[in-house]
Structure 1
Amino acid sequence: MQTLTGPAGSVNEQAPQRKTGPMSTSARPPATPVVTDPRFENGPLVVLDGDGAAYGSGGVVLGCPATTIQALLEWAVAESGLGAPRLHRYGRDTDPLMVLTASAAVNLGLPEHLERHGKHPRRLPGDHPVVQELAKSGWHLTRRGFGPWTKVYRTAASGRQGVRIAVLPWNAFDERSWPGVPGMDPAGMARTLGVYVQRVITPRGSPALAGLDLMTALRPPIRPVRDESTGNWVPAPHPGSLGTEPMDPPPPEAGPEHPVVVASGWTAGFLEEEPLQWVRDTGLVTDEERRCPYAVGLTVNMAFCAAADRLIVGLSEPVHVTKPPFDPKMPGSWLVDLSHVEVDPRLPSPFTPTGRRPRAPAWYETHTVAYAQELGYDVQPVQAFVREERGPYLQPWHDRLQTAYLDTLADLGVTRDLSDAEFLAAMDRAQVPSDPALAAVLTAIEATVEGGIGKLRERPHLKRYQEGERWPALERPTWRPDIRAAVVSRARITMHRRLMAMAAMTGRCPLAVWSDCVVYPSPGPSLMEILPYSASGKPQPAGFRLGPAPGMARPKGAQPMPWALDLMEQGHNPARRIEDGAPLHD
């Protein structure tokens, strides 16, 4: 293996001096201890620059002599010492990741910019020299082809070998999910990605795709068992996983475009479990609330991650039942009339995404129906699709992402032992982080959670979709809209419980809710002026509580009360812009 050397000797003594990018990165060590694997001595990835320097995590710098993509692949699998160990004993090790800067991509024969070809997504055409040369040399591309994120593999004597490639100038890292990362210098980028890989997983695309991959990596679908008749080890289903084959949902969970709906002509409604997007009727805003100088917003940390904690979901095929007794422990979708359930008109209804009271029977996930029962109302399902085999499928996923989030916040100075006042001060400081790399990791972790849950019900790409046909996501065992519905339902119901508790303890009701963000009238710009505290100054447990953990709250922003009222009167939701106060045009 070639190692770069500088005037002072090997790279381990002194790394080559490089021009600093627009975002500097500190050398603060991550809170999570680094576990090394001798097979992957140089870490999970490198960022390859045009001069042949390959920057890895942990300050590693290697020399890569490759001048073609084929040579890069050979170096990656044979010499680099790159890759990542499996996250579960029954899982698979992760292929090395090669991140190419613009100059490196051009030097390896790739175009600096990638154009769309016809109706196909951005990827190299089949007649491009790089694609043809890979095919001639025995390397294969997946169905996604050669694009911003690419998997290349081959079968060798030692088994299947694979390499992942991300091309920076082709927008492999979206600025919204990876803020500042595309503009970092290679060493800073390698450090940022290395922390993410260490705490989450090696990405092979967007954070949403990483969120989905993490579920399977932590709950592999198969395990080896010994065949008693032959004594050989054979693959068998791994209990608690989703298996290896896709599972079609029942019509109400599928959505109108799904083939099972189109083929059956189903017209009996669909499961619509979505986050709240609600604005209180301005006629219900009191004069006292209007006189408050501020509207303040709070947001629930990693709401979907918190909802996944100890969440029991269905693992088996759905079973249709008619007029079943409701079982709050049975994962499923229930057709039930909740139009008789009344809540304070200053609060949203917990049973619809709009927060408006339902007017007729509809399909609901188990947690939604159980909440109506919790509120003291009788529920009598007309029919249901239930899954008798069940388990906490998302628990390892929750645990890893919660730890990643808390460790990264702690590195930014926001820890769990802070008082509320100290927490608010720490969050203010974190808005202008001393370490932008860790701030980018934090945003990517949040995108991994939200996007991973969204991928459980990935919809077809409308530009290439024809009604009734199967789209690629349906072939994944992790295409499970019922699991997404369970997470979303539980998050929304938990939000509503806290809204109810806040109203009971403080008399305050929200002006608006947008998913995990709530806006309240306030006498001041601080959340401490509206949250419930005991006479001794301790936070009350039932309502919103400040803190860094998933499920706890943090500030989202504060704006003048007239700003919020003006948006509400125009039919807009102030919770969408409470952070920056920008004009809103829905």
Structure 2
Amino acid sequence: MSELFDAVDALLASRAALPPPAERKRLRAAHGLTIDEVATALRVRRATVSGWEAGKTEPRPPERDAYARLLDKLAQLYPAPAGTTAPAQDATVSDTFTAAPAPAERRSRPTGQAPAVAAVSATENTPTHALAAAAPVAASRPAPTTRPSSTSRRPGAKKAAPAGTPAVAVDPRFEHGPLAVVDVEDGQVLAYCTGGLVLDVPAKSIPALVDWTLREAKLGAPKLSGPGKDADPLLVLTEATLERYGLPVALTEEERLAGRLPEGHKVIKQLARAQWKLTKRGFGPWARIYRPATGSERACVQLCIPSWHALDSRHWGAAGQLPPAELARVLGVYASRVMTPRGSTAVTGLELMTALHPPTRASEPDTTGKRRSEHNPGSLGKDPVDCAPCEAPDGHPVLKDLPRFHVRGPEEKLFEEAYDWARPMTDAECTLRHLVGIDVNMAFAAGANGLAVGLGAPTHVKAPVFDPKLPGSWLVDLSHVDLSRVKIAKDKWAELDASLLPSPFTPKGDRPTGPAWYATPTVAYAVELGYDVAPIEAYVRHESGRFLDGWYNRLRDAYLATMADLGVDADLAPADFLAAMDGYKERDPDLAIVVSAIKATVKGGLGKLRERPRGEGWRPGEPWRALSRPTWRPDIRAAVISRTRVNLHRKIVKHAAFTGQYPIAILSDCLVYAADGPSPLDFLPYREGKALPGGFKLGINPGLVKHEGTQSVLWGEGVREQFETPELNLARYIKDGTVTDADNGE
């Protein structure tokens, strides 16, 4: 029986409560301990203990048990000063993200059922902020105190910030957060906000709902840049809410194809009578309802309707099926770390660029004291610019004089795309046992970091001297670049097997055969490899800047913060990183949705820079809607993809020169290598915990790599024999090994 008691004691100890981060630091300092001493005793890195004390991360067993014991002993020796109380349970800033309700609690609740939180009026709540936005709503939360509400039909609650949460200044205009999920429970309309707050909604119609949102709800978010604009409040309407306000739960096929309700719908007529307007996109999955602004007063509300497929399952997973409080949490985390969604993840990615670099700003006062709108330096401006002919996609108006069925070759068309390359395995590789896939984290975001891009229109130049600092498109012959001998450092060359390497100059990895158009990073890489270049002509942009730096930083920070909440920190040793990545999505499926949405924001935002016509009755040679945006910039997209592909090839070359190993397949940012073991550590060279300089490094930061999947060499050979394709791209299937006729790459 004593063994059972010991087991129970051990189980209780494994869930021992931890004090908040500030208290952990106080206790350590009170005993005169350094971070290094604690790290040594617990056999972890110094940065790990520092993260625990800063609230960035939380310890996991078995270190957690020992750390809890240490803090408990120190608390006995050094009680908290009089007038302060230590929380009885874990309630740190990090816990507000990671201590999600148990899966059974979270998934068993029907979509229309509210969690155990009290509704409050629009005037009764302490400030919520980015940290509280991620707080889970658990059915076991203690009941809040209530008091009568002047604007609520039910008693309201004043929700206290979690213990250990630092005070953050909150704009009083938006104290209830950036958004709300509006649902109906027992006949009452409720708005589930971020941080667990629930508001009573008195509105009886969509026009009244919009009016209530702007006058009473205190929803929205401050601007991300000085000259920018505040984010409009976002309302997410559940199916029950749609029925309550006379909207269809689902669009008809005709409405779905049109992307909107017909103009004669009764709700649209209600809005018109109330003098509300809709944007040109009408009342669709992401509707914007507004009145013309008067001065600086905001008068716009955005609607998101999940049952109309506003939240694409490819990027948002099952978010559209979550209960209201959980959906508010998911969208709230995304809104606080990226921005309030403005549409699809692609649309939001593009809007984020503009929000961080608004096209205009207020000038200095003139002699009369008035300010005017002027160009904001470093932005793309408010007017679109024409692309160069080589940068234009087929059908663009600049190409209208080309013969109808003319096919442009590389000497006429800039074709900077991600890799889709594979080769047969060598005899030596066939003797190995495993195929191991690695994937570059946020590869395209990393490609945008620090990249100088053109800000204005292109200038055509004949026989230019190549300048790697000048953004543009260059017609140049790179067929002379020989990958069997390349420069890998100053005065250091490497001999390689060029037959096992993809060319860095084409997406399919083929060696170029003559002149072709390339973006600046591609041509600069040819020079870096040790070869001269002589451009024939170019379209260059003399006005340039690092337009995407703020965009990259925002998305990087959002990604790293959310992955840290899922237990994957940026300072983990290689083996610890691989272990932390194993099953990270199951630790908090809701936050895993946020990670997916952040990644989609990167790729989609860059894709929008060259958006093609969609369902507009368009004909080749005619302009389409996207061309009217200053952010329609195919040259910027090409430069980012070019730099991303070059970054990948540089690491491949460094790895091959050092190890003699070559990839057998590459798909975008995923590579497959043959190895004796199933882990990336079985072929990535590490020496005393340090990766090969300039090569692949395991880690969660953008540009570093993670394990994508492992299959057997026999599997790879079998798949290629099955489809009778020796060069089938195995990187497409390495994650789970599933191959179908529909996606065999043919």
TM-score range (shorter-chain normalised) is: over 0.9
Separation in 1, partners of 2:325, 2:568: 25
Give runs of aligned pairs for residues 1-150 of structure 1, distance below 5 A: 2=121, 10=146, 36-51=170-185, 52-117=189-254, 121-150=258-287
In structure 2, C-alpha distance between the alignment counterparts of 1:135 and 1:562, rounded to whole Å: 65
Cα distance in 2 between the residues matched to 1:68 and 1:272: 51
Pair 1:274-2:417 in alignment = yes
Partner amino acid, structure 2, of 1:95: D
| Secondary structure of residue in 1 paired with 2:352 | helix
- Return the alpha-carbon distance in structure 2 between the equivalents of residues 88 and 187 of structure 1: 29
Aligned mate of 2:505, from 319, 340, 351: 351
Check 1:211–1:119 CA distance in 2 against 1; reply closer, same or farther (3 A cut): closer
Q: Deviations over 1:109-148 (max 9, x none)?
A: 1011112437952210011101111112110000110011
Paired with 2:146 and 2:192, the residues of 1 have a C-alpha distance of 14
Greater shift, 513-522 or 180-189, is seen at 180-189
| C-alpha displacement of 1:506 | 1.1
Is there any run of 5+ residues in structure 1 with no aligned partner, and where? 17-26
2:525 counterpart of 1:360: no
Paired residues of 1:313 and 1:331 also in contact (CA < 8 A): yes
2:659 is matched with: 506
Q: Which aligned pairs between 1:208-219 and structure 2 lie closer than 5 A?
A: 208-219=346-357
Distance (whole Å) between structure 2 residues aligned to residue 311 and residue 226 of structure 1: 30
Which residue matches 1:291? Answer: 431
Aligned partners of 1:32 and 1:150: how far apart in 2?
A: 36
Judged with a 3 Å threshold, the aligned counterparts in structure 2 of structure 1 residues 390 and 226 are, in CA distance, closer, same or farther, namely same
Q: 1:415 aligns with which of 561, 564, 569?
A: 569
- 2:461 corresponds in structure 1 to 321
* TM-fit CA distance, 1:392: 0.3
- How far off is 1:566 after superposition? 3.4
Confirm whether residue 487 of structure 1 aligns to residue 606 of structure 2: no
RMSD in angstroms over aligned alpha carbons? Answer: 2.4
In structure 1, C-alpha distance between the alignment counterparts of 2:190 and 2:390, rounded to whole Å = 54
Which residue of 1 is the match for residue 84 of structure 2?
Answer: none
Conserved 8 A contact 2:349-2:605: yes
3-state DSSP of counterpart to 1:50 = strand
Equivalent residue in structure 2 for 1:258, among 396, 412, 415: 396
Asked if residue 521 in structure 1 is aligned to residue 674 in structure 2, the reply is yes
Return the offset for 1:449. 0.5
Name the SS of the counterpart of 2:577 in structure 1.
Answer: helix
Of the three residues 308, 312, 329, the one matched with 2:448 is 308
Cα 1:293–1:152 shift into 2, 3 Å: same
Q: Which amino acid in 2 is paired with 1:385? A: Y
How much has 1:477 moved relative to structure 2? 0.5
Letter in 2 for 1:304: F
The change in CA–CA distance for 1:12 and 1:408 in structure 2 (over 3 A counts) is: farther
- Looking at structure 2, the residues matched to 492 and 297 of structure 1 have their Cα atoms a distance apart, in angstroms, of 17
Secondary structure of the residue that 1:388 maps to in structure 2? coil
Q: What code does the residue aligned with 2:313 have?
A: E
- Greater Rg, structure 1 or structure 2? 2
Greater Cα offset, 480-489 or 259-268: 259-268
Equivalent-residue separation in structure 1 for 2:348 and 2:630 (angstroms): 15
* 1:371-382 matched pairs, under 5 angstroms: 371-382=525-536
Shift of residue 156 of structure 1?
6.1
Q: TM-score, with normalisation over the residues of structure 2?
A: 0.73
Name the stretch that deviates more: 337-346 or 112-121: 112-121
| C-alpha separation in 2, matches of 1:368 and 1:11 | 65
Q: Which runs of 5+ in 2 are unaligned?
A: 1-119, 126-141, 155-160, 484-497
Q: Residue type matched to 2:352 in 1?
A: L
Q: Comparing 140-149 with 568-577, which one deviates more in the overlay?
A: 568-577
Say whether the 8 Å CA contact 2:255–2:261 is kept in structure 1: no
Distance 2:730 2:166 in 1: 38
Query: For 1:156-555, what aligned pairs fall within 5 Å after superposition?
Result: 159-263=297-401, 269-280=412-423, 282=424, 285-343=425-483, 344-432=498-586, 434-461=587-614, 464-534=617-687, 536-555=688-707
User: C-alpha distance in 2, partners of 1:412/1:373?
Assistant: 42
Aligned partners of 1:32 and 1:336: how far apart in 2? 56
Report the Cα distance in structure 1 between the residues aligned to 2:615 and 2:401, rounded to whole angstroms.
19
User: How many equivalent pairs are there?
Assistant: 569
CA contact (8 A) 1:31 1:410 kept: no
The superposition leaves residues 78-125 of structure 1 with CA deviations (integer Å, 9 ceiling, x where unpaired) of 110101110011000011100000011110110111124379522100
261 and 28 in structure 1: CA distance in 2 versus 1, 3 angstrom threshold: farther
How far did residue 526 of structure 1 move?
0.4
- SS of the residue corresponding to residue 597 of structure 2 reads helix
Mapped contact 1:332–1:385 kept (Cα < 8 A): yes
Task: State the alpha-carbon separation in 2 of the partners of residues 229 and 49 from structure 1.
Answer: 53
How many angstroms apart in 2 are the aligned matches of 1:29 and 1:345? 61
